Structure 1
């Protein structure tokens, strides 16, 4: 094992010598003798798999169109998605629209008009940029209201 270490050190030294790069290994143990002491602080936040918006949208549960109630019922009939489904209402292009988050991964999120007609898919897909039919959605959407999110 020591021979392998010496060979690796020699290789690094010779490869880096012409660039005057120094490779060192710290040998001083932490002051407390433990790796999670003040020298290595603990993480300040917990990991999450659910995306969290920069701000919390104001909730609005009034006047959900029938097609949207049906879509909510369909989501609740399936097993819980990860990330959870969120439905937000915005003003976009001079009209009220409903944004439904993607169920997972590289799938598209959907934007519908008040009658339930698909307008565009502003994000998701392999590129993350959606279907290209509303590339200005994030920039021009206004009046965000949280309509529903999966409570499970």
Structure 2
């Protein structure tokens, strides 16, 4: 049994998945051919312009209202450090009836951090060697509500 059809299908699925993750809109030309018929032994050249749109579907907006002073200081510290990959993000949530700030980890096995409104570290919900954080807020991902992007490293 040949594996060529499976490989072709698998390759196409990977390409499609990559396009979807990058928010690339791809459409099929619908204009009829200038002359001739679309049925038959040959296919006419497409008559419409390129339909691949490589622009992002939405712009990133930040909630800059009422950023606490300690958070402004953390943001300034991030901007003086080397750029991380992936970039650091800070989100605001409601968790256990309080406002909290979630700072993503810059990479790999490092902990993400949840801070209370005053900047005190509450827990590390993910990251570390196991990927499950420090265990002090194992329900954070399920119970958080009201997500608002507060800051993302723009570099």
With normalisation by structure 1, the TM-score equals 0.66
User: Aligned-pair distance for 1:92?
Assistant: 0.3
> Runs of at least 4 residues of structure 1 off by over 6 A?
none
Conserved 8 A contact 1:57-1:144: no
**Aligned match of 1:60 in 35, 57, 63?**
63
- Tell which structure's C-alpha radius of gyration is larger: 1
**Aligned match of 1:43 in 1, 4, 15?**
15
Which deviations, in whole Å up to 9, do the C-alpha atoms of 1:29-82 show, x marking residues without a partner?
Answer: x9xxxx98x99647122598xxxxxxx987311111111001000110011101
Q: Secondary structure at the match of 1:147?
A: strand
**Aligned match of 2:123 in 90, 97, 120?**
120
Partner of 2:91 in structure 1? 88
Gaps of 5+ in 1: 1-23, 49-55
Note if 1:151 corresponds to 2:154: yes
How many residues are matched?
115
1:47/1:124 Cα in 2 relative to 1: closer, same or farther (>3 Å)?
farther
Q: Secondary structure at the match of 1:125?
A: coil
Q: Secondary structure at the match of 1:112?
A: strand
